Structure 1
Amino acid sequence: MPQSLFPNIIQFIGQIDPFDKIPKAALQELASHVQIIYLSKGEVVDLCKAGREKSLYIIRTGSMEQRKADGVLRARLGSEDLFGFSFLDKEMDNDKGYQAIAIENTLLYLIPHSALLALFKAFPSCAEHFASQAQVRLKSALDVVWSDKEKGIFIRKVADVASGRVAVVTADKTIREVAREMRVVQRSSCAVIYENDKIVGIITDRDMTKRVIAHGVSVDSPISTVMTYSPLTVKPDDLVLHAASVMMQYSIRNLPVVKDNKVIGLLTTSHLVQNHRVQAIFLIEKIKYANSIKSLESYTPERQAIFEALVEGKVAPETIGKVMTMIMDAYTRRIILIAIDKLGPPPCDFSWIVAGSHARNEVHMLSDQDSAIVLADNATDNDRIYFKHLAMIVANGLASCDYPLCPGKFMAATPKWCQPLRIWKNYYKKWVANPQYECLLNISVFLEIRTVYGNGDFESILRDELHSNIRSNREFLSTLVKDAINTNPPLGIFNSLVLEKSGENKKTLNVKKYAINLIIDLARIYGLAVECDLSATDERFAAANKKGILSDDAYKNILGAYQFILFFRFSHQLEALKNGEEPNNNINPDRFGSFERKHLKDAFRIIADLQEAAKIRFGSIQ
């Protein structure tokens, strides 16, 4: 290599992740091993050529395509992009691999395997950037981005905070025996009561004072005479913020932590006050007691501040979605109650159901309203007039609090989406049996539903109806797959190949259209295939993995891709908010560094691979 090129090589590779993080001396040593090759348009790189040491390839100028053995596009690459690292792993020797083809005249830098191994030995953190498995590379990226330092107790899991001390007794025990178990044996402020292996009640030391001592109840009476029946519980993986919200909503001080019907701990208010709080918990409390929609409107800047704090604090994207969902839930419930105060008690049983990102617990700063009302089958025409007014108050109230109206009018305020249970059951039957464009659009919105107020049984009935209809018509999943693969992820993000015109004619990448929506669609398909009752994207993939129709590698890959892309979008929205701009999903690729570009390409390839897998598994169902 001519010495005159040496400074240019150092300058170029020194700006590429992760070489931008190594000392100058190590960078110079690495650059001394670089080889240079020139490819004409159409020329193919043989990564497995006999007698040639395997290398990492960096595109200096020009562009390349990677194509799998069957000719399917794997990725398009431009200047500063890297390829060839899957061939650095000995375990990948038998991999059928891919071809790299120059789609214009291209200049490549080659870093030999031996030089990289020497770098990895000196700087082990660099090795993960070139792992053969995409989920390892994505995880290393997230580990760099997300700090595990103190993030506040309320975005931790219940299992991290709850006490293991809790008394567990049976319903036939006397008050005296239970008190002794609480005070002497377990030293717990609470006892959970079982009957026939089922949790039936709870008693606290305060209950003992108010219900036993104050009323002179005999301590030889059964504990069942004074216990609180059907206690609320939480799971060890629930957010502490969720548990605290439940405590405030129902004015309780103790929550048993239950896993597989077994009590494994206790969360109390003392666990919360011993630690510092995050602002979200106070906002939910203020929303609960707001006496007007005007008061709720004033909390919008605070909600935005919470989102900004969560993103800046490098909190996991799925946690951000859950926190923002709990806040939107609180707004919705409070406005429903304000409407009921104004209109009078509901004339019949009903359920206020949310759909879309709200139902999936994936709310963000761009989430709009997707909702419906399911009425009891005995609802009259006059009853429907009442609920029409209620829905209008709620929809307009949420809009005034900066939760936009749904552009497609998938809201409870639209008469079509405020119907008795029997009509909703007919909707699902029709949509699954004849998934034409309009039906597919309707069901895509209501494939995930969640009750935020009212009779939760209606939600369960409709979900069972959906699963039953799909069981009878497996072609429905095939139709969903065809729709899900109509849009391809951006396997190339340079030279405007997958960019769209946005405001002021800027060329941008719509990360929602070309990535996030594709992952959500795939999660729906896999979740429905195993009749998963959960709506969150990660939960659906987990259910499919547990049932064995999504491999461990595919599950880890798609989850890592989803988390990285969500964080990428949140960071983009945060920047817009801080600049006083309207947040959106359109990202200018000119602002991608090599770090973002490399990991986004990994994520996009993972999406494309899962689309292909879904097509093979579900696409040919007859």
Structure 2
Amino acid sequence: MADASELVAVIEFLRGSLPFNELSDAELQQAVSSMQVSYHPHGESFSVDSKPSGLRILRSGAADIRDADNKLLDRLGEGESFNIAGLNAGDGKVVALVIEDALIYRLPDVAYQTLRGSNRAFDRYFSGQRSRRLRRAARYQPEPNAMLAAVSSVMTRDILTVSPDASVCQAATLMAERRVSSAFVVADDELLGILTDRDLRTRVLAKGLDGAVLVRAVMTPAPETISSEDSLFATTLMMTQRRFHHLPVMEDGRLVGVVTTSDLIVAKKNDPVYLVNHIARQDSVEGIQALVESMGTLMVEWVVGGMRAPQVSQILTAISDAVAVRLIQLAEADLGPAPGPWAWLSFGSQARGEQLLGADQDNGIVIADSVADEQLDWYRQLAEKVCDGLALCGYKYCPGNIMASNAEWRSPLAAWQDTVQSWARMPTEDAVMRVSIFFDIRALYGDRRLAKSLQSVMLQEASSNSIFLAALAANVLDNKPPLGIFRRFVVDRDGEHRDSLDIKKRGVLPVTEIARLHALANKLPEVNTSSRLQSLIGAGHMAIVDSRNLTDALHFIQGLRMDHQCAQIQRGDAVDNYISPRALPRLAKEQLRDAFTIIDEAQASIRQNYRAGMA
């Protein structure tokens, strides 16, 4: 590195890297003058025997530090350094593996040792490096969470199948002989229904029917199923929420097994599924409140246990669902039966299954048109009880008052449909802003057909109106990722969150808005963002690479947001969504820049595709 301009560039780079920031100008210049630069492709490794020796500093790329058992000890990114000889004190088995093509500055061993001998802070950093790596290893090698295993690992494959034209007596005899509590009704390899001990009790004996009645007359038709690749968590959650005792397991469209409640017993008291189950058994708001008070601590445990952002979001959403459902049930117990069919609606992140901590309420009620005006007060009372209960349990009142306790969002189906149609036909700025919440819709409780009817109107109106889609696209484009010139982060310059950016508003929401726009334009009913992006591939409306890039960007950003909130919980701070890019490791910074760049490119595509409607 003899060129003066090159030396200056390297010096400036190292000034921002530990522990070179501890060196004087003279020491830094002396070190850089003896450095060499080299390129190393993905897959190359460095061991104690690698020559030449010295301190290696990553100018770009990334490397893993692994022990003799291939256990990951640390992951290094731009600006971080390693000396293999120093990391191998004792066993000589630690290696550095290049995982992204890397440009490396090497400080020869003589110059490296000279700096350590003359600068105490520089020496102290590398003296403690190996122990720091070992202490941090647990962060990269979390204990596997049993709930993430595939349901195929516990399901029963030896299943009993019967014909729909068999008699109940024949089916019951076979069940007794096999000592099973369920039989699956199959014809031509197609699963038609399920017959359980409970069906025999409630639909045959309790009704006074004899054993000659056909199975098809008393079975549960078209039962819900789960894939053999789905996790134990997803299976247990579905069975707990729906109160299933038997769940058919499918593989390539064929019935391959059954999972029962006894298959899913777990030992941990703080398991999320058990928490959902405990919430469902509470008989007061205070009881629910006591259970969810420790939510932050539990989230930290789940993250340390190896759960990733999508699973954590799914868990936290399931818990908020359980809280809302139990509060509704308690309100119904006080008020008596509803005057007519209705459904409790969740909007926004709860509807998408993407909540983290700190979520506020976004909900509504849709009521059957057959309910008379004088009966509507029942729904008002229920809404107020539930919204107040949610607030007591930590789910803040919506700042925009988008809650069922507001009469505007507690209406008959026809009124809801009229509102949606007016939004689509006159896309004012206010209407477009509301769409960002209301078009992510999920029925949480009650008659789900009402919610489906409302969603079908939403999809029809949105997909058939190019002006409305253009207005929605313009709204998407207003929320730019926070990257400026030369891919520098754009952060708040003053105020409470100085030098930080809102990772939810500037990172998560742009991806959800992009996926929502494309889903509405193509009349896709999925609400979860990852599911929308996957469905866009299947429907031929998005390239696989674009869908996967946006999904990866979303999961990475959500992971940063989750880690940020976990750190706040551990410090005892209130959780928020503001992260400081300066506080991120270099590799994470580059990954965040890449995620924002993916979003920016997706927005550019939207500008091109919806330009005609905007004009």
Task: Answer whether contact 1:349 1:375 (CA < 8 A) is retained.
Answer: yes
Give the TM-score, by structure 1 length: 0.74
Kindly indicate whether residue 155 of structure 2 is the aligned counterpart of residue 152 of structure 1. no
Q: Which amino acid aligns with 1:355?
A: F
Residue aligning to 1:24: none
Q: Distance in 2 between matches of 1:450 and 1:214?
A: 35
Cα distance in structure 2, aligned partners of 1:281 and 1:366: 21
After TM superposition, list the pairs within 5 Å mapping 1:113-262 onto structure 2.
Answer: 125-128=97-100, 147=141, 149-153=143-147, 155-175=148-168, 178=171, 189-194=181-186, 199-204=191-196, 222-224=214-216, 227-229=219-221, 231-236=223-228, 238-249=230-241, 251-258=243-250, 262=254
Question: Alpha carbons of 1:520 and 1:174: their partners in 2 closer, same or farther (altered >3 Å)?
Answer: same
SS at match of 1:165: coil
CA–CA separation in structure 2 for the residues paired with 1:473 and 1:214: 54
Inter-partner Cα distance in structure 2 for 1:618 and 1:164: 50
Partner Cα separation in structure 1 for residue 608 and residue 13 of structure 2? 45
Question: Does structure 2 retain, via aligned residues, the 8 Å contact 1:55–1:84?
Answer: no
Question: Are residues 1:603 and 2:604 paired?
Answer: no
Q: Distance in 2 between matches of 1:530 and 1:285?
A: 37
Alignment match of 2:36 (pick from 33, 37, 49):
33
Q: How far is 1:389 from its partner? A: 1.2
Q: Which has the higher contact order (CA 8 A, sep 6+)?
A: 1
Is 2:544 the partner of 1:541? no
Which residue does 1:406 correspond to in 2? Answer: 398
RMSD: 4.1
8 A Cα contact 2:61 2:102, kept in partner: no
Q: 1:551 to 1:279 in 2, by over 3 A?
A: same
Q: 1:285 aligns with which of 271, 277, 289?
A: 277
Contact 1:293–1:397 (Cα < 8 Å) also in 2: yes
TM-score, reference length from structure 2: 0.75
Are 2:566 and 1:574 aligned? yes
1:392 paired with 2:364, answer no
Structure 2 residue runs without a partner (length 5+): 20-30, 43-56, 63-77, 80-93, 104-136
In the TM superposition, what is the alpha-carbon distance from 1:230 to its structure 2 partner? 5.5
Q: Residue in 1 aligned with 2:321?
A: 329
1:548-567 Cα shifts (integer Å, max 9, x gaps)? 22111111211111111100
1:585: Cα distance to partner? 0.9
Q: How far apart, CA to CA, are the structure 2 residues paired with 1:459 and 1:266? A: 30
Which residue does 2:514 correspond to in 1?
522
Matched residue type, 1:546:
G
Aligned with residue 420 of structure 1, among 412, 417, 420: 412
Structure 1 residues 377 and 497: alpha-carbon distance in aligned structure 2, compared to 1, 3 A threshold: same
Give the direction of change, closer, same or farther, for the CA distance of 1:258–1:386 in structure 2 (3 Å limit): same
Partner of 1:102: none
Q: Distance in 2 between matches of 1:517 and 1:496?
A: 20
Task: Name the counterpart of 1:498.
Answer: 490
Kindly state the Cα deviation for residue 417 of structure 1 after the two structures are TM-superposed: 0.3
- The 2-side partners of 1:493 and 1:448 are apart by 34
1:165–1:187 CA contact under 8 A, matched in 2: no
Q: Structure 1 regions of 5+ residues with no counterpart?
A: 17-27, 36-52, 57-79, 86-107, 110-121, 132-142
State the Cα deviation string for residues 257-304 of structure 1 (Å, max 9, x = none).
246764232111232127767521221121111111111111122322
CA distance in 1, matches of 2:198, 2:439: 44
Task: State the Cα deviation string for residues 77-110 of structure 1 (Å, max 9, x = none).
Answer: xxx996799xxxxxxxxxxxxxxxxxxxxxx99x
Q: Deviations over 1:437-472 (max 9, x none)?
A: 111122221011000110000111111111211233
The match for 1:47 is none
Give the 3-state SS of the residue equivalent to 1:263 in structure 2.
strand
Provide closer, same or farther for how the CA distance between residues 271 and 125 of structure 1 changes in structure 2, counting only shifts above 3 A: farther
Deviations 1:551-598 (A, max 9, x none): 111112111111111000000011111111111111122312212111
Q: Secondary structure at the match of 1:489?
A: coil
Q: Matches of 2:140 and 2:318 in 1, distance apart?
A: 22
Residues 513 and 194 (structure 1), Cα distance of their counterparts in 2 relative to 1, 3 Å cut: same
Change beyond 3 A, Cα 1:453–1:218? closer
**What do residues 482-536 of structure 1 show as CA deviations (whole Å, max 9, x unaligned)?**
1111122122499986111565463211111221111111010121122221111
Q: Does structure 1 residue 367 correspond to structure 2 residue 339?
A: no
Report the 3-state secondary structure (helix = DSSP H, G, I; strand = E; otherwise coil) of the residue aligned with 2:500: strand
Q: Which residue number in structure 2 is paired with residue 618 of structure 1?
A: 610
Change (3 A) 1:197 1:568: same
| Displacement after TM superposition at 1:174 (Å) | 3.6
* Alignment partners' CA distance in 2, 1:372 and 1:168: 43
C-alpha distance in structure 1 between counterparts of 2:401 and 2:189, whole Å: 47
How has the CA–CA distance of structure 1 residues 411 and 505 changed in structure 2, closer, same or farther, with 3 Å as cutoff?
Answer: closer
